[in-house]
Structure 1
Amino acid sequence: MPKRFPSLSGYGIGWSTRQRITVIATGLAVLLALAAVVALLTSRTTADESQAAAPSSGPSSSTSSSTGPTASAGAGSVAKPPQLADPVAYAKAAAATLWSYDTRTTSRDQQLAGMKAWLTSETKYADWSSIAAQVPDPVLWSRMADQAQYATTTVTEAHYPSAFKQALADDPSAITEAYIYAVTVTGKQQIAWKKGGAGAEDRSITLAVQCRPNANCSLVSIAPRVVP
């Protein structure tokens, strides 16, 4: 019986914390207050600008993961972002996309390109590294492709975490800084590979979604752990 390879959404969990920006590790992950999230997201911009201004001491090993694929890579079978203004509905669609893949029709670069299309265009808030971390490295993707592995997803529920709702109740005006919402999504991922191999896993993830007034929502980041 063919060996089942780890699911796509499981990759990146054990990566170095240096690959997750401060806002995710200290702000959104605990969701203590929306104002804190916005402040930390904004502070990331200053840090990034300072780093960009500093002279480079040598080639960076993380360039590909931080910048992502080029648009010419195409998106393969990755779903396009929907035009939605509701954070919960958008988070459900985004989670389904993050948990779904098809190595039979989509290359790793195409998977990354398709996922990046969901990312907010506001670079001061976007955390591409947390999203790219969901995709396995090229060698592992190749092994999955050898087994014709693919996954589909059924989303069962999505809600605002209690800590986020409390923070919003404590300071309703804080949301107007960046209009970033935390949404926890649960579902089931069905995985299959050649020669009849199949399996299923329950999934849960907390996403940061940006939904400005009179604009479509977009994905900001993935929290490193699920918040109730």
Structure 2
Amino acid sequence: MIKITTQFTILVFVLLGFLGNAQEKKKFSNIPNILQRIEPDDKIDSWVLVYNSYGKGQELKTSGGKISYTPQFSGFNLFPSEDSFYYIAYSSGGKISYIMDVEGLKKFVGKIDNAEEAAIVLAADGYLVDEEFKDLAGNYHEDRTHYYLDLGKLTSKECPYQKTHYTLTVSKSTGEIIQVKDNGTYIELYNKKCANNPRLLKIEKKQEPKDEPKKTTQRK
């Protein structure tokens, strides 16, 4: 009886340890490393990921051998405040093609193979890995059937500029979004031009002018 109880106790601790590791959140790396985790599903002979900053292109990843491509002057970005951009040149059946927007990137990724690809696919719906606030909008955990991603989204470009963070549950088998949980706004910025700036809405009470003391004439 004691032996059975001991075995049961060990089994419980093993299961708890497994579940704990499955629920452990991991922070996403930077955007270039996320993009390098792409594993395209289509029959791609070779492809190259290029990062362009101030007109200079840098190859971040080459898969399947070197290809001859034409440098591009526009592309996609996974973070709205970036001035630079990325693009992918790929060869399929002897033809060179280019990925220059997030919709094309989503199709290039195809079936989701990892959490990074899930984040890339969700970028087509406006979600982002916020590198400045990874605790709120740049991490994930997973179990056998789902990815659980904490991502941000720019929810207002007007006054005030704001970002909201969400927890998205994505099916590993279908790639579909099962659930979206709104966790609220985590950035709200006003500027001087905002008519609804709380500082500008404060009514400054004007001081009433004090009555000057009356001059009295002294009799001699």
Please identify which structure carries the higher helix content: 1
Higher relative contact order (CA 8 A, sep 6+): 1
TM-score band by shorter chain is under 0.3
Normalised TM-score (structure 2): 0.26
Q: Choose between structure 1 and 2: higher strand proportion.
A: 2
Q: TM-score, normalised by structure 1?
A: 0.25
